[in-house]
Amino acid sequence: MSSDTSSTAGIGRREALLKSAGVAGGLGLIASAASTALSPATAASSTTAAKARTMANTFTTHDGTQIYFKDWGPATGKPVVLSHGWPLNADSWEGQMLFLAEHGFRVIAHDHRGHGRSGQPWGGHEMNTYADDLAQLLEHLDIKGASLFGFSTGGGEVARYIGRHGTQRVAKAGLISAVPPQMLKTAANPGGLPLEVFDGIRAGERANRAQLYKDIASGPFFGFNRPGAKVSQGLVDWFWMQGMLAGHKATFDCIKAFSETDFTEDLKKFNIPTLIVHGDDDQIVPIDAAGKAAAKLVKGATLIVYPGAPHGLTDTHKDKLNADMLAFLKS
């Protein structure tokens, strides 16, 4: 994998996927026709709009990695910052982003390094660097009073951010189907999953990660392997596409990061209102060693358990989660 950190690599992968579906050519014709048809007034309006705050941007970290982020909603809204899970990107939060932006919040979500449209450096695919990238994003945008929400691996990023950088810029936190305090079974964490589980995921990554992502999405992630479950091919394809936009090295290294990192001490440093949401049928990050354990470590945390909900509840239980997040943000 190249150490090139420009965002063009991520954008190129997305364009390649679009072209394979026959979309890019059609979009090009539409854009060309629209450009030709622009009146002087329309052109002037477009120029003015271009100077305004855009909804998608990049910034460069201290080690030269470009990080892509979305910035939706009114600029004056209270900031909500969302961190995504493995092997996904900021798009996985779009149901929450649109909802919260429509309710007046400024909603920001970034692609982890090596994922989505961010640059693909060879290293840094571990929790300390993820947390530092998040810190630099908040500094870049001068965000204050933010509510940080992390889904799955992103919950680990949020926890490590607070552990390393404190809560000077943070007002509230949320852990959604999140991996803290620790996924791996150890002497100190007997309720965790054995190392063989994660070795199996690594083996799947090496052998055929495209098939691995399809198997995860069509099986336990959304609970589609449960009796009577109605499979959404759209969600399966959506998960797969996001996974394939990420770099192989980044997704491979991230397995160790989300499974082996111990966030116990990070959670003890939480000193802000914290919402923890977890499904009691989460087959990816089982609730007992995750949501319930985290709630015991975070002082004053509010734990909401979704009966029968799988890991990917940001989609399967989108309306309920949106309502719970909104209520928490307004509380």
- Is residue 91 part of the annotated active site? The answer reads no
- Is residue 62 part of the annotated active site? The answer reads no
Q: How far is CA 303 from CA 210, 228, 282, 296, 309, in A?
A: 35, 28, 15, 9, 14
Contact 140, 70 (CB under 8 A): no
* Helix, strand or coil, per DSSP, at residue 314: helix
- Is residue 39 part of the annotated active site? The answer reads no
DSSP string, 10-35: HHHHHHHHHHHTT-HHHHHHHHHHHH
Instruction: Give every strand in the sheet of 170-176, ordered side by side.
Output: 56-60, 66-72, 106-110, 79-83, 146-151, 170-176, 274-279, 302-306
The beta-strand segments (E) located in 117-257 are 146-151, 170-176
Q: Which of 110, 112, 278, 311 is catalytic?
A: 311
What is the number of other CB atoms lying within 10 angstroms of the CB of residue 114?
26
**Element (DSSP H or E) covering residue 293:** helix 291-297
Place of tokens 């990023």: 157
What is the number of other CB atoms lying within 10 angstroms of the CB of residue 96?
24
Q: Which of 152, 177, 218, 259 is catalytic?
A: 152
CA atoms within 13 A of residue 160's CA, in its CB half-sphere:
24
* Helix, strand or coil, per DSSP, at residue 230: coil
Q: Which of 71, 133, 253, 282 is catalytic?
A: 282
What is the distance between the alpha carbons of residues 251 and 164, in angstroms, rounded to a whole number? 23
Catalytic positions? 152, 282, 311
